[in-house]
Amino acid sequence: MDFYSSSSRGMGDPACPAGEPHVLAVDDNLVDRKLLEKLLKKSSCKVTTAENGFRALEYLGLGANQEHFTNSNGSKVNMIITDYCMPGMTGYELLKKIKESSILKDVPVFIMSSENIPTRIDQCMEEGAEMFMLKPLKHSDVKRLQCQLMQCQ
């Protein structure tokens, strides 16, 4: 199975009001992917996971054999969180493809990495990333993500 989608409806979480945000989480590391999924579900978000950039593009309708946006399950993705270092396609390359799409360019993309490399961070931010976060992510990081998504600053 290439994509995993799960949902959790937490009660009274102000960061996810009516209609939970749908987050696409992309990471080649299963442990990191599961941790991110768990943190997002605790914050009342619907989560779909992909193990690499190619699978993420397929899910988003931007795969090599897909000519236009056709999300297989018809759900709208409100946010994309991707690891930077992945085999085949980096998070930066995924970010570029998303920002080149006329349909997806406004979807916020957050990059995460275990490496704190300033030139990498600058490159991602210049390409349109909303935020660059260091791994391992914590619950407070997810709250910051939601704050960005909900435009509270």
Q: 100-132 pLDDT, tens per residue?
A: 999 899 999 999 999 999 999 999 999 999 999
Does the pLDDT at position 65 exceed 60?
A: yes
Q: List the one residue out of 151, 107, 115 whose CA is nearest residue 133.
A: 115
| Segment 49-76 mean pLDDT | 77
Q: Which of the two residues, 62 and 10, has the higher pLDDT score? A: 62
Instruction: State yes or no: pLDDT of 84 exceeds 50.
Output: yes
Check residue 4 and give its pLDDT: 42
Close Cβ partners of 14 (under 8 Å, ≥ 6 residues apart): none
pTM of the shown model: 0.82
- d(CA 76, CA 73) in angstroms, rounded, equals 9
Higher pLDDT, 30 or 73: 30
The mean pLDDT of the chain is 82
How far lies 127's CA from each of 34, 91, 99, 103, 140, in Å? 27, 11, 8, 17, 25
